[in-house]
Every structure is written in structure tokens, then in C-alpha cells.
Amino acid sequence: MSKDNSNQGLISMNNKGFVSLVGAGPGDAELMTVKAVRLLTEADVVVYDRLVSADILSLIPAGVSRISVGKEVGKHCVPQDEINEIIVNLANAGRKIVRLKGGDPYMFGRGGEEIQALNKHQIAFEIVPGITAASGCSAYSGIPLTHRGMSRRVQYITGHFNDNEPLDLNWKSIADPDSTLVIYMGISNLPLAVHSLIEAGLPASTPAAAIQNGTTQSQQRLITTLGQINDAIHQKHMKAPVIIIIGEVVTLANELDWFQSSLEQKRLEEGQTEEIHLHEKNVLQN
């Protein structure tokens, strides 16, 4: 079936390839957009990040080249400049490229930097948004990002700066008890973030959640408080990718849950044990 795609004209004009910067979403392959899935089937090459799940990678047809630019065990992460060069070189060779990024390309994904590199080399592109981890992981954990009477706004911050830069943020503004705070990539600097938020006036008793591998069958959800979340994460041996949600909306987790409870029931039926943090019931009941 032929498709009327105006981007094809851009490809033929300069004999270069075309880049689709595609958001893969938080992990569940069924959360990808129809357009994202279609582009995977039409690509010559897929350049993908570490956080793209195996289920999503399985959608790439046989014969389509795959290039991993994410961190692997025993290897260093591919520098951004090198990723840009890989994409530009592929496009200059006339390839149709899907640059597949976990979540949404423009939400702490450095997608803007990659597009700047394409513009510099006059390479045509398009952006395909994806469900970002905040909305995906919160929904699959029973935690609404906003709720009347609890949260009037949502704040997104990254807990990891590049080149070991200090986590220098306006904590006074961020420590708002009437908002929901979502921390991406926050494990490594979580002690500093917790200390800074409490020092800025956010109560240590503020409900907090950590979600590992959100929206997937290996999702783990931890409910605790701001003051105890760092220790709780270590006790449960949580590893990245983990997203942190802080705010009163966390208290709705069990009431609005539809996914986590089914996972835990399945694990019980399979003979697995699920450790529940000691403070979870108190946080959800208070």
C-alpha cells in the first residue's frame, strides 16, 4: 500500500537519507504509537538506546540493521557526539533511519541535540513523540500525576547531570507540597535530592514512590516517604531504570491500582515472594 508521505520529497531532493526520531515509550511495546511501529517496519537501520525494552526491539523485522548506542555491561556509554556522528553518517549514505529512544525524545532524552546535528548537515527528519516515563510509570503504578485537592501542578527534574556536574537546582521552588515531583534518573543523586528537598521545607513524611522497570512485567513498585526512600530503595535492591514520584498523590496508589496488584498475584502464584516495605501501609492509610 502506497503512503502519501511528504517527507519522501525531502529525501530525494538532496539524495540523503531520512531520520525519524522516535519515542519508544516506557517499556510496554503496546504503548508505542501506530506511527512508531510502522516506521520500525520501514527502516533500513534502527539506532536504539539502552532503555528500549526487548519487547519493543522484537518488533524490528528481520533484515533491518540494529545499532545499539546504549550502555552495556563492561562497556562505556557511547558519547553523544559519537551518536550524532553515527546518525549523520548513516543519513549521508542514503539510509532510512529510526533513532529509537526510550520514553519521549524531548524529555531528558537529548533529542534536541541530535536534531541540531542533523540540521547542521542539512539532513531531513521528523519527530515521533512517545509516552514519557512519568506518565507511563505513574499510570501503571496507580498514581495519578495530578488529583483535585492534592496536586495543582507537576514538576519534572533530572537527578543526573552530564559530565559529573553538581545537581544544582532551585530546591526552594521544587519543594512544593501542593505539587507532584517526578525525578528521572535519580538513584545516584537521590541522597542529595532528599536532603535538599527536606532542607528547603518539604516534610520528610511526604509520600514517595519508586518504580523500577515501569509498565513491564518486571515492574517493581515501592511506596514509602521522602525521608526514607533512599534507604528503602537500597533495601529492596532497586536498580536503574527507576523513576521517583513524590507528593500526596502517592497515597492513592492502592486505590487506583490496576496493574501492580495483578503482577504481585502472578508472582505469588509462581511461588515468588514479594517483599513489601514496612512503611507502605502506613503511608497509604494516612
Tens-place pLDDT, residues 212-266: 999 999 999 999 999 999 999 999 999 999 999 999 999 999 999 999 999 988 8
2 has pLDDT over 50:
no
Cell of 118: 542533523
- Residue ranges and CATH numbers for the domains of the chain are 7-131 (3.40.1010.10), 134-285 (3.30.950.10)
> In this structure, are strands 207-212 and 179-184 parallel, antiparallel, or unpaired?
unpaired
Catalytic residue among 3, 44, 55, 71: 71
Whether residue 168 lies in the annotated active site: no
pLDDT tens per residue, range 84-94: 999 999 999 99
42 has pLDDT over 90:
yes
Confidence band (pLDDT; 50, 70, 90) for 40?
very high
Q: What is the pLDDT of residue 25?
A: 97
pLDDT tens per residue, range 166-185: 788 999 999 999 999 999 99
- Long-range CB pairs of 160-168, under 8 A, 24+ apart, other chains included: 160/184, 160/185, 160/186, 160/188, 160/189, 167/192, 167/193, 167/196
Q: What is the pLDDT of residue 94?
A: 96
Q: What is the pLDDT of residue 13?
A: 47
CA-to-CA distance for 210 and 243, rounded, in angstroms?
6
Catalytic residue among 16, 28, 49, 176: 49
Find out whether 260 and 215 touch, Cβ atoms under 8 Å. no
Whether residue 71 lies in the annotated active site: yes
Q: What is the pLDDT of residue 163?
A: 58
Would residue 195 be called left, alpha or beta, if left means φ above 0 and alpha means ψ between -120 and 50 degrees?
alpha
Please report the beta strands in 90-234, taking only residues with DSSP state E, as ranges in sequence order: 96-101, 124-128, 153-158, 179-184, 207-212, 220-225
Going by C-alpha positions, the residue among 49, 43, 98 that lies closest to residue 69 is 49
